[in-house]
Amino acid sequence: MAEIKVDVRGQTCPVPLVEMRKALRKAEQGDVIEMIGTHPASKKEIPMAANALSVKIISDEQIGNEWKIRLQK
């Protein structure tokens, strides 16, 4: 199981969501995707998308103006 890092700091709508989906499509079952970003709306929309895609959210945290969301395919 690989761990894939996706850095979307400084990126705005719709890039964080799109990069999440691209990473998920490339990932193998069981792979972990760690996303780091700053776009505020994506902090709540990435978990929304993960739920819609039935992808597990391992953790979801905010540190200063950065958020880190870990997903498992």
By annotation, the residues acting in catalysis are 13
Degrees (nearest 5) of the Cα angle 24, 27, 28? 130
Is the Cβ of residue 25 or residue 59 nearer to another protein in the bound state? 25
- Binding positions for another protein, rule: CB under 8 A: 10-15, 17-18, 20-22, 25, 48-49, 52-53
Q: Least distance in Å: CB of 38 to another protein?
A: 10
Is the Cβ of residue 21 or residue 68 nearer to another protein in the bound state? 21
